[in-house]
Amino acid sequence: MSQIYDRVALIGLGLIASSIFWASKRNDNSLHITGFSRSEKTRNIARNIGLCDEVADSLEDAVKDADLVILCVPVGAMEQVMLKIAPFLKAGATISDVGSVKRAVINAIEPHLPTDVKFVPAHPLAGTEHSGPESGFASLFDNRWCLLTDHKSADKTAKNKVKNFWKGLGANVEFMDADHHDLVLAVTSHAPHLIAYTMVGVADDLGKVTDSEVIKYSAAGFRDFTRIAASDPIMWRDVFLSNKEATIEILGRFTEELFDLQRAIRTGNGEKLLDYFTHTRSVRREIIEAGQDTDAPNFGRNFDSELD
C-alpha cells in the first residue's frame, strides 16, 4: 500500500495518542510521527519511552510540516488548541481528532479552520481505564470501531485518507452523522459511565457500610463498575459537559425504568423482574456474537497468580 501521509502530528500524548503511535509503527514504520504535550513531564516521559519519532517543544514545531494533525486532547481543550495551531498548519493538511463527543468538537474547530485545511472528525471507540503516555499499546484499536462524522469542510479524498489511516491501525471504520453519534454514545458510553461513577460514589459514602467492606466484597458485581469509574476524570468531565442534552435524555429514560423495576421489587412482582432479566440476558448473547466482547466467564479475568 502506498503511504497515506508522510508526516503525522499527535497533539496530546495520553492513552489514545500513544496507542495511535504504537499501532501506526506496527503497521508502517516509515511514517514520521511528531508528538506534543503541553506538559514538560509528559514530553520527557515520551522521549524516554520512545513515544513518537520526535517530540516537539512547541505546537508550531509539532504541526508545521504535518499532513495530518490529530487532536488527542480532552474535548474541552479542543478550541484552545485549534486557535493556537491554526496559523501554522500546512496548506492542504487535514485536521482530525479523537473526541468522544462530535457536535461540540465540530463547533469548537470549524470556525477556526483555515480555508486550505480539511477537517475530518473521528472517534475511536476504544480505551481502557488507564491513562497517560505510558498506557498506550499497539493493539488497542484492533477490531474496534472508529466512527468518522460527515462534515461539510471534508472532501472525499481527505475522508478516505483518514478512513484508511484508521484501518491501518486495526480499526473498523464507519461514517455517522454527528448528532446521531452523540446520542448513540450517550447510550453505549456516557450514561453507563455516569451511572458507574455514581454507584461507586454512593458505595464509598455510606455510613452503615465501611469502605473496607465495600473494597473487600467488591467482587460481587461492584468491581466492574469501579473499572469504568476509574477512567480519566478530565476527559469525562468534558464529555458530560459537551454532550449534556443526549446524556440527560438517556439518564431520564434510565431513571424512569429504574423506578419501574424498583416498584416491581417493592410490590413483589416477580414475573415482571424475571421477564426483564431474561430479556437483558439475550442482549449479552448478541454482543458476544457481534464480536464485541469475550464469552469467557468474568471477561476471562486471570489474576490469581499476581496474588500468590
Selected range binding a copy of itself among 29-37, 78-86, 113-121, 299-307, rule: CB under 8 A: 299-307
Largest CA distance in the chain: 67
Say whether 304 sits in a helix, a strand or coil: helix
Q: How far is the CB of 34 from a copy of itself (least distance, A)?
A: 26
Its sign, for the CA torsion 67, 21, 172, 6, is positive
Q: Tell me how far apart the alpha carbons of residues 68 and 177 are, in angstroms, rounded to a whole number.
A: 22
Half-sphere exposure of 305 (CA within 13 A, CB side): 2
Q: Tell me how far apart the alpha carbons of residues 62 and 70 are, in angstroms, rounded to a whole number.
A: 11
Chain residues 23-52 in contact with a copy of itself, contact rule CB under 8 A: none
Q: Is 18 in the site for a copy of itself (CB under 8 A)?
A: no
Q: Is 148 exposed, middle or buried (0-12, 13-18, 19+ CB in 10 A)?
A: buried
Q: How far is the CB of 272 from a copy of itself (least distance, A)?
A: 9
Which CB sits closer to a copy of itself, 115 or 302?
Answer: 302
Q: Is 285 in the site for a copy of itself (CB under 8 A)?
A: yes
Chain residues 117-146 in contact with a copy of itself, contact rule CB under 8 A: 125-130, 135, 137, 139, 142-145
Number of chain residues interacting with a copy of itself (CB under 8 A): 113
Q: Is 261 in the site for a copy of itself (CB under 8 A)?
A: yes
Chain residues 159-198 in contact with a copy of itself, contact rule CB under 8 A: 183-185, 187-189, 191-198
Selected range binding a copy of itself among 3-11, 25-33, 79-87, 217-225, rule: CB under 8 A: 217-225
Using DSSP bridges, classify how beta strands 145-149 and 122-124 pair: parallel, antiparallel or unpaired.
antiparallel
- Residue type (1 letter), 176: M
Which string of DSSP letters, residue by residue, matches 122-153?
Answer: EEE----S--SGGG--TTTTTT-EEEEE--TT
Helix axes 244-266, 191-204, angle to 10 degrees: 60
Which CB sits closer to a copy of itself, 67 or 182?
Answer: 182
Q: Is 3 in the site for a copy of itself (CB under 8 A)?
A: no
In sequence order, what are the residues at sequence separation of 6 or more whose Cβ sits closer than 8 angstroms to the Cβ of residue 245? none
Chain residues 241-260 in contact with a copy of itself, contact rule CB under 8 A: 241, 244, 247-248, 250-251, 253-255, 257-259
Which CB sits closer to a copy of itself, 92 or 252?
Answer: 252
Q: Is 101 in the site for a copy of itself (CB under 8 A)?
A: no
Which CB sits closer to a copy of itself, 95 or 168?
Answer: 168
Which CB sits closer to a copy of itself, 35 or 76?
Answer: 76
Selected range binding a copy of itself among 22-30, 53-61, 90-98, 270-278, rule: CB under 8 A: 270-278
Q: Tell me how far apart the alpha carbons of residues 229 and 89 are, in angstroms, rounded to a whole number.
A: 37
